[in-house]
Structure 1
Amino acid sequence: MSVKSVTHVNFQGDARAALHFYQSVCGGDIAVVTYKDAGNVQDPADADNVMWGQVVAASGFHVMAYDVPSQLPWNRGENSFFVSLRGDTAQEVTAYWEKLSVGATIVQPLAPAQWAPLYGMLRDRFGVTWVVDVVSEYHG
């Protein structure tokens, strides 16, 4: 038996655009089900919003997203979660970083760190904070 953890990102009206952006960064297949598709329209304004969506890439990248219905409270919050994107090589990580950084706010530039060959943090154009690094063995 195994268990898998997947980051699930909540938006209010931006889930589809965010999923397409993440697909453009990491590749993979995108799937989107709207509230209308699922027959679960509570507010006509939400009909074409994402009730469930995901991007899954052969590299192992997987993120899920949805649009919180307009009748429910939603606040993007501050530092409520980070998405960690880890790669095996500097070349791989740098390629993701360059794509994610378009329109982003750089929190920590991508550079060597004491604990990793490369590490950086940014807040993408959708307000999601990404921690990007090269996997390294921990020597604590």
Structure 2
Amino acid sequence: MSIQTVTHLNFRGQARAALAFYQRVFGGDVTVVTYGDFGRAERPEEADQVIWGQVAADNGFRVMAYDVPAAMPYHAGENAFFVSVRGDAEEEIRALWDKLSEGGTVVHALAPSQWSPLYGMLKDQFGVMWVLDVAAPYRG
């Protein structure tokens, strides 16, 4: 079993451009999944915005990004990132979740999602937002 911690940057409509920029800087492959791809756009103008994206380079560079939907508050610099922990095994992610959630607030319960066998989001007791999931390849 192993886990990987990746910076997960939050934007308001700029995630795709940011990912393209980071790819130009660091190299690697870009993956972009939109709200429309999952049928989760709350507003028609958000369908092409990024619900999940990443740059992954052979040199080890990784960054994830998404566009915060208009229905959620977003203040650049205040909630501009998540700490994303990805693992290979559900048991390991569940154990980390149980510990991290002590004294915190669950934002999205740990459960299967369209993109992962197990995904959840929480704000820990110190106000840090965490995303935990079991890594799975995106199959478009």
1:40-79 correspondence to structure 2 within 5 Å: 40-77=40-77
Check whether the contact 2:11–2:80 (CA below 8 A) recurs between aligned residues: no
Q: Distance in 1 between matches of 2:68 and 2:44?
A: 14
Tell me the distance in 2 between the aligned counterparts of 1:46 and 1:31. Answer: 18
Which consecutive unaligned segments of at least 5 residues does structure 1 have? 82-140
TM-score by length of 2: 0.55
Report % sequence identity. 60
Aligned to 1:5: 5
What residue number does 2:130 align with? none
* Cross-structure match for 1:109: none
C-alpha separation between the residues in 2 aligned to 1:47 and 1:68?
A: 12
User: Which consecutive aligned stretches of 4+ in structure 1 deviate over 4 angstroms post-superposition?
Assistant: 78-81
Superposed CA RMSD in Å reads 1.6
Please give the secondary structure, in 2, of the residue aligned with 1:23. helix
- Residues 7-46 of structure 1: matches in 2 within 5 Å? 7-46=7-46
Count of aligned pairs: 81
1:102-130 CA deviation, whole Å, 9 max, x = no partner? xxxxxxxxxxxxxxxxxxxxxxxxxxxxx
Cα distance in structure 2, aligned partners of 1:40 and 1:6? 24
Q: 1:56-101 CA distances to partner (integer Å, 9 max, x unpaired)?
A: 00000000000000111000126966xxxxxxxxxxxxxxxxxxxx
Question: Whole-Å Cα distance in 2 between the matches of residues 80 and 54 of structure 1?
Answer: 16
Q: Return the alpha-carbon distance in structure 2 between the equivalents of residues 24 and 8 of structure 1.
A: 18
Distance 1:8 1:38 in 2: 19
Looking at structure 1, the residues matched to 67 and 80 of structure 2 have their Cα atoms a distance apart, in angstroms, of 17
TM-score, normalised on structure 1? 0.55
Aligned partner of 2:7: which letter? T
Q: Which structure is richer in relative contact order (CA contacts within 8 A, separation 6 or more)?
A: 2
- Alpha-carbon distance in structure 2 between the residues aligned to 1:32 and 1:24: 15
| Contact persistence 2:11–2:66 (CA under 8 A) | yes
Structure 2: runs of 5+ lacking an equivalent: 82-140
